[in-house]
Amino acid sequence: MEEVIRFALLGLGIGATYALASQGLIIIYRGSGVLNFALGAIGMAGAYAWWELTTNQGWAFLPALVAGIAFSAIIGGLVHLLIMRPLRQAAPLVRVIATLGVLITLQAIAILRYTATSKFVPSKLPTDIVHIHNTIVISADRLILLGIAAGLTLMLWVFYRYSKFGLATAAVSESERSASALGLSPDMIATLNWSLGCGLAGLAAILIVPIVTLQPAVLTNLVLAATAAALVAGFRSFPIALIAGLVIGIGQTEVTRYVEQTGVGTAVPFVLIVIWLVVRGQALPLRDYLLQRLPTIGSGKINKGGLAFGVVVGVFLLSALTPIWIDAVTVTICVAVILLSIVVLTGYTGQLSLAQFAFAGFGAYVAGRLLATTEIPFVVGILIGIVATIPLGVLFGLPAVRTRGINLAIVTLGLGSAVELVLFGNADFTGGFGGTQIGEPVLFGLNVNAASHPTRYGLMALGCLVVVSLIVANLRRGRSGRRLIAVRTNERAAAALGISVQGAKLYAFAVAAAIAGLGGILLAFRTTSINFSEFSAFNSITMVAYAMIGGIGYLFGPVIGATLAPGAFSERLLNSIDSGIGKYVPLIGGVSLIVLVLVNQNGIVKEQIAQIAFLRSKLAKLIPFLGAKEPEPRTLPAPTKEGTVKVESMALEVTDLTVKYGGTVAVDNVSLMVKPGQVLGLIGPNGAGKTSLIDAVTGFTKMAPGSSLKLDGKDISGWSAVRRARAGMGRSFQSLELFEDSTVLDNLRAASDPRDMGSYARDLVWPKNVPLPDTVLSTINEFELEEDLDRLVEDLPYGRRRLLALARAVATQSSVLLLDEPAAGLGDTETAELAHLVGRLAKEWGIAVLLVEHDMNFVMSVCDELVVLDFGRQIAAGKPADVRNDPAVIAAYLGEEEDDATDGSASGPSPAGISGQEGV
């Protein structure tokens, strides 16, 4: 027991350092919503400044300390002003990459100036041993560090809770717009928080360096553990971060002491991250989840001429260049394969994974160990290595079901780190002193050893790149690709269309893992003795950076991004100009990354496409055949059946539905029934609970016990949103939630595609689109969308987008449609047309429609019956004429609307309806 306590005390020292670092992360996150991966590097800069002043300039400790902290604070403020502020509307991925650029740049500067050699720094704190009991001892400086961490935590808690600045920070983190309306400057507050957080990192670094030595990565290595502590604290609570940091430190120490397996102790924070996020996560994002736009994606169409040209160039380079250059081209190709996995996972599916290099390493590990220890042929070993990575991908993808955005990034980084620590860095698993020797690889009887036959190996890698590119292109163009993009753009809308968000994410992780595994095998097998140390977790971050630079949504983006990897084409080119440039490559890379992220978040390829198109248009005047071909006019087939399409008749029965948000009852025992061919209107003042009811009925919000939901007589109360959608229940959203990056036709196809699992495999090879069902063809006719089919949704005017939202819901061939304010923002004429349309959907198609609307003209003209809610309770139900005369209804809602209608003036939606803001 004494031993346990002793090691727990030792862990407190480590935990205090984690806690200090995590406070800085929290301050910055609270003030600006950014997870600052560069925090450690900025703190390191302050530590070096302090060391420079005390060691080389002879300053006393305290003034140098203040200067060091100020240095970090200034860097933090500048980073926010110059980099993060211009990126405030950018996607989380982009902002993470920007902080990575800062990290790389600062570390490169430190190495250039001070080298990577560790420097011993004597402690200014007392280091006497404090005896607590028998063998339980701790050095005084650890206790002081603990005291500083606790004291700072208290100060921060008080400061952010009671000071004006703290309250302003809280306001800004809740709502920037509202805070601005109150006269607060979100930019100023964010800048000050960045300065404060980075200053704190500087203090942490200066205090820590006597313990861990002064070196460029001094705090960066702590960032992951600090992130774990900050995550547990919800990036909000300083006291919880302190406790979490201490618990992590103690946990690591105890595990390291009692578990002999290498790396397990160090992996403790990462496991904690995963567990915490998965337990607290949400299967689907909440209604107010900000859907920040990811960089654009390509169409997946293969330019055959371009592909042929690329292959010819590749073959030429691999045949004609000297071995040094061939190796550089080969490395570029191998990394490009890995980056294609990021296109699938992050580009197409929107999952921010920082584990691709872990997958790459795992593929190399399995294939390498098999070839080193058995007699299986080379090709078989590779195939097994690729396939073995798939379950790992699925495993890593499981947390993605309940986490998203930056949280998912941290989870995957943590899992990748754990794989690196426990597997790649463990000699017991990698072959001991003998390592992993795979011998000379032979492919179809040909020796393809990269050392002796660099051209052959390069051609093999090129062949793999072409095949993988075609697979990814097929995926993009097929049904699977539409599902992934739907999930990427809007998980709620995807679920409402019956797309299994969970299935799509796991599929994406599986495919991406397999592709990365192949890339890792190609990269590692360039030598016959496999070195797993290159598959480090942080390299996964740089891989995402390269993918972003090239274009994370484009097939050719990886090829461009891969040229920046270590040992790849760009480095070879720079070294050939002057071998002394090599030492500046990391610095050039870091600055380039920042600039590229600021200038073009969509990547170089997007710019290239635009430039090529411009060039073609100019050259076409001289050489006509160079001009872009006019797309052939799309002709839709006629419906297979004559006359109106009828859907399967189903009734929706809601009994005693209650919805609670914490202590607030949003919907209180509401019962209603929607019959086939009927339009039931659900009306009520703002905050009455209408949208909450729709969310609950469609499975996006939990119903309280006692609520009952039946569809066509079947009890579906416990069904997920996806299952309800597939059973025949469709909906539209107040805020449209269309797939903006996709065309109108793709939106409709996403809604109507069959949901078979087979397409996940088939699309990789043969992405065949099924003919559009009659419902969709009729929908296109009905909504007059023929001319818009190939237009991107983001290019449509508002009215057309409203129509498309409804059309998409109809395209799901649902028997029951729940429409949430479909006319919001429309003018009188458009509203009237829409009302007519809704009426026809019910009367002619047989759909049961539940309609939420504020526009009383619309409601009165199309609804067969009405239900009125007020403060979550049903206050009236019946025919429209009866309801509008009900005194309770008049009092609660209809009074001012009736006056407007009497005046004959157009009664558009209420201001609340236009804004789409709905209370609980």
Residues of this chain, 61-80, that bind another protein according to CB under 8 A = 78
Pairing relationship of beta strands 708-711 and 714-715 according to DSSP bridges: antiparallel
Scanning residues 499 to 528, which ones bind another protein (CB under 8 A)?
A: 526-528
Min. distance of Cβ 261 from another protein in angstroms? 9
Closest CA to 232 of 272, 204, 281, 282: 272
For residue 711, which phi and psi values (nearest 5 degrees)?
-125, 115
Based on the shown chain and the rule CB under 8 A, indicate whether residue 802 belongs to the binding site for another protein.
no
Nearest-angstrom CA–CA distance, 505 and 351: 8
Q: Using the minimum distance from each CB to another protein, give the nearer residue, 109 or 673.
A: 109
Site for another protein in 822-881 (CB under 8 A): none
Does residue number 120 form part of the binding site for another protein (CB under 8 A)?
yes
CB 366 within 8 A of CB 505: no
Q: How far is the CB of 431 from another protein (least distance, A)?
A: 8
Sheet holding 729-731, edge to edge: 714-715, 708-711, 652-661, 664-674, 873-878, 865-870, 679-683, 848-852, 816-820, 729-731
> How many CA atoms lie less than 13 Å away from 645 in the CB half-sphere?
22
The pair of three-digit structure tokens given for residue 233, joined into one six-digit string: 């604290």
**Judged by CB, which is closer to another protein: 139, or 698?**
139
State the Cα angle at 388 between 474 and 298, rounded to 5°: 25
Q: Which stretch binds another protein (CB under 8 A): 249-257, 356-364, 728-736, 854-862?
A: 249-257
- Report the run of H or E that residue 23 belongs to, with start and end: helix 2-32
x/- binding map, residues 328-357, to another protein, per CB under 8 A? x--x--------------------------
CB of 117 to another protein, least distance (A): 6
Nearer to another protein, 420 or 653 (CB): 420
Instruction: Determine if 451 is a binding residue for another protein (CB under 8 A).
Output: yes
What does the DSSP 8-state code read for residue 159? H
Tell me which DSSP letter residue 651 carries: -
Closer Cβ to another protein, 431 or 919, answer by number: 431
Sign of CA dihedral 100, 102, 108, 113: negative
Looking at 61, 113, 162, 768, which residue binds another protein (CB under 8 A)?
113
158 binds another protein (CB under 8 A): no
Residue closer to another protein, measured from CB, 222 or 852: 222
If one asks whether residue 14 binds another protein (CB under 8 A), the answer comes out as yes
The neighbour count for residue 498, using CB atoms within 10 Å, is: 24
User: Judged by CB under 8 A, which of 59, 114, 289, 719 binds another protein?
Assistant: 114
Ranges within 692-711 binding another protein (CB under 8 A): none
Comparing CA positions, the residue from 475, 514, 501, 273 lying closest to residue 391 is 514
The only residue of 99, 256, 759, 907 in contact with another protein, by rule CB under 8 A: 256
Angle ∠(416,419,425) on CA atoms, nearest 5:
125
CA-to-CA distance for 94 and 547, rounded, in angstroms? 11
Selected range binding another protein among 226-234, 530-538, 601-609, 912-920, rule: CB under 8 A:
530-538
- Kindly identify the residues of this chain, within the stretch 263-302, that bind another protein according to CB under 8 A: 263, 266
Of the two residues 453 and 749, which places its CB atom closer to another protein in the complex?
453
* C-alpha 455: how far from chain center: 38
By CB under 8 A, tell whether 452 contacts another protein: yes
Decide if residue 105 touches another protein (CB under 8 A): yes
Instruction: Identify the residue among 5, 109, 148, 443 touching another protein (CB under 8 A).
Output: 109
Residue 125 near another protein by CB under 8 A: no
Residue 600 touches another protein, criterion: CB under 8 A: no
Question: How crowded is residue 518: how many other Cβ atoms within 10 Å of its Cβ?
Answer: 30
H-state helical runs in 291-355? 304-320, 323-342
Strands (E), 407-516: 436-437, 442-443, 446-447
Question: Cα angle vertex 771, ends 767, 773, to 5°?
Answer: 135
User: By CB under 8 A, which span of 404-412, 578-586, 678-686, 791-799 interacts with another protein?
Assistant: 578-586
Q: Which of 450, 721, 780, 838 binds another protein (CB under 8 A)?
A: 450
> Exactly one of 124, 257, 660, 726 binds another protein (CB under 8 A); which one?
257
Q: How far is the CB of 457 from another protein (least distance, A)?
A: 11
Which bin fits 593, alpha (ψ -120 to 50), beta or left (φ > 0)? alpha
Q: Which CB, 108 or 725, lies closer to another protein?
A: 108
Are 36 and 28 in contact, with CB atoms under 8 Å apart? Answer: yes
Q: Which of 182, 286, 595, 765 binds another protein (CB under 8 A)?
A: 595
Span from 400-408, 564-572, 663-671, 848-856 in contact with another protein (CB under 8 A): 564-572
- From the number of C-beta atoms within 10 Å of its C-beta (0-12, 13-18, 19+), residue 96 rates as buried
CB hemisphere CA count around 710 (13 angstroms): 12
Q: How far is the CB of 81 from another protein (least distance, A)?
A: 7
Is residue 617 part of the contact set for another protein (CB under 8 A)?
Answer: no
Give least dist CB 687 to another protein, A: 39
User: What CA–CA distance (Å, rounded) separates 677 from 849?
Assistant: 8
CA pair distance 491, 700, nearest whole angstrom: 11
Q: What is the DSSP string of 736-772?
A: ----TTSBHHHHHHHHHS---SHHHHHHHH--PPPPP
Q: How many CA atoms lie within 13 A of 532 on its CB side?
A: 28
Supply 756's token pair.
């078979």
Beta bridge partners of 711: 652, 714
**133 lies in the binding site for another protein (CB under 8 A):** no
**Taking the complex as a whole, how short is the minimal distance between the CB of residue 84 and another protein, in angstroms?**
10
Examine residue 115 and tell whether it contacts another protein (CB under 8 A): yes
3-state secondary structure of 824: coil
State the nearest-atom distance from the C-beta of 190 to another protein, in Å: 15
Q: DSSP letter at 773?
A: P
- Residue 132 CB, nearest approach to another protein (Å): 13
Identify the residue among 86, 147, 706, 895 touching another protein (CB under 8 A). Answer: 86
Neighbours of 240 (CB within 10 A): 17
587 near another protein, rule: CB under 8 A: yes
Q: Does 251 bind another protein (CB under 8 A)?
A: no
Q: Residue 434 or residue 887: which is nearer to another protein going by CB?
A: 434
1 counts as binding another protein under rule CB under 8 A? no
Window 200-229: residues binding another protein (CB under 8 A): 210-213, 215-218, 221-222
Residue 548 and residue 604: Cα distance in Å, rounded? Answer: 9
Site for another protein contains 17 (CB under 8 A):
yes
Min CB(106)–another protein separation in Å: 9
Residue with smaller CB distance to another protein, 126 or 887: 126
* Residues 135-154 close enough to bind another protein by CB under 8 A: 137, 139, 141-142
Q: How far is the C-alpha of 606 from the C-alpha of 593, rounded, in Å?
A: 16
CB of 108 to another protein, least distance (A): 8
**Does residue 188 bind another protein (CB under 8 A)?**
no
State the pairing for strand pair 729-731/816-820. parallel
Within residues 401-440, the interface with another protein by CB under 8 A covers: 425-428, 431-435, 437
The set of residues, in sequence order, having a beta carbon less than 8 Å from that of 254 and lying 6+ positions away, is 4, 7, 8, 11
- Closest approach, Cβ 454 to another protein, in A, equals 8
Binding-residue total with another protein (CB under 8 A): 97
**Helix 39-51 / helix 186-212 crossing angle, nearest 10 deg:** 60
Point out which span in 186-194, 251-259, 410-418, 455-463 binds another protein (CB under 8 A): 251-259
Residue nearer to another protein on the CB measure, 468 or 594: 594
We find the least distance from the C-beta atom of residue 113 to another protein, in angstroms, to be 4
